[in-house]
Amino acid sequence: MPKLEFARANPIPEAYWFLFDHSPGGISIATDPLCSTIIHNKKASRMLRIHAGGAFSHSSKEPPKVKVYKDGVELSAAEMPIQRSARLRDEVQNEVLEFVWEDGHKSISVWNTTPIYDESGVVRGVLATSEDISHYVLKEREARLDKEHLERVVREKIEEHARLRNEVERLDRLSLVAQMAASISHEVRNPITTVRGFLQLIMQRKSFFNYQKYYDLIINELDRANEIIGNFLSLSKNNNSMDREEQDLLATFHAVLPLLEADALMMGKKMVFMEKQVSKLWMNTKEIQQVLINLVRNGLEASPTGACVTVELFEDHRRVGFSVKDEGSGIPVSIVEQLGTPFLTTKASGTGLGLSICYDIARRHQADINVETDSRGSTFIFTFHKEQHHPELT
């Protein structure tokens, strides 16, 4: 029932209608106990996006196309504050509602309602006041979102700072390795080569034949020391302008597979290679072979006798790479976070340089190394990004 029809049916002085229309706050009147018709003054009408003095009720035969929420929960017609006042004969105070129209417009308002009784105490309607608080609530929400965004940015900056600090520490360690390598390479390698040569000469004499196993042991240890020095030298080469050519990853791996299969056989384990032809990549063949060798040997050492280490190639529209999966007992979380750090090792006789070399090679190839690990084993995934491995981009 529009306001004019309601005024004709209810002889209320014109002064009161003037106050109703021109009140600085929203005023709404349910004209029947079922709240099927609710008329609104100018302020409430603007807030509800209807013409001045129009009717707007969720209990009407044609409810408005707007959803109403309280604390994020959508309300039915019976749950609206005016309807509750009429049904429960009770006042509703300071109830905040959010109206959301189909076009995305939002209006947030606070409502107070009270039943209207006749002389006999029967509820004839409901009087409601409302105030549009959209500006304040939306500003508060915006401020909260800004605060959350700022907190997120701060967290990210702290994490980035921690990553940069770790990277600086890693580079410091690599610098130390480089200095050590430069100082010991000639001073140690040359005597080792000399001693190894004389041992081989002595082994050829018949009088020393009974001691051959001891000489073999000494030579093996000298070779191991030489290999450690080679690892130091490899880390010391901060070679970002390395020679790279377009190479076939499958063929690159085939060249070193016999060596790795022999290693596995000597340890009483197996190595399986899952072949797949993948796109060619711009890479340093020797360095990528070194990564494969280091990862497979680590996997073999981590796996029990009879276990299998699996190497698999993969490719999708963005990536090309390979994975090395072992059947060991997994890597502790505290160690996973530090993988690639020089001298970090869980092996009794390890140097902690093998993985450092792998990570350094990955960095030079703009590639990534990711690790998946649990109690059933670990998988190292070496990933090239295709957009960084085309001739025109190198």
In the CATH scheme, what is the homologous superfamily, with its name and number, of domain 3-132?
Answer: PAS domain (3.30.450.20)
Please report, for the chain, the start and end positions of each structural domain, with discontinuous segments joined by +: 3-132, 140-236, 245-393
Helices 134-203, 212-236: inter-axial angle, 10-degree rounding: 140
Cite the beta strand spans of 102-157 per DSSP E. 106-117, 123-132
Q: Rounded distance, CA 200 to CA 197, Å? A: 5
pLDDT tens profile 227-283: 666 655 655 555 554 578 888 999 999 988 888 898 899 899 999 999 889 999 989
Cite the beta strand spans of 213-252 per DSSP E. 245-247
Which tokens hold the place of 108?
A: 């947030």
Smallest Cα–Cα separation from 382: which of 262, 299, 302?
299
Q: What's the rounded mean pLDDT across residues 64-85?
A: 94
- Domain 245-393 class? alpha beta
* 390 compared with 41, residue with greater pLDDT: 41
Q: How far is CA 286 from CA 105, 150, 295, in A?
A: 63, 46, 14
Res. 201: pLDDT tops 50: yes
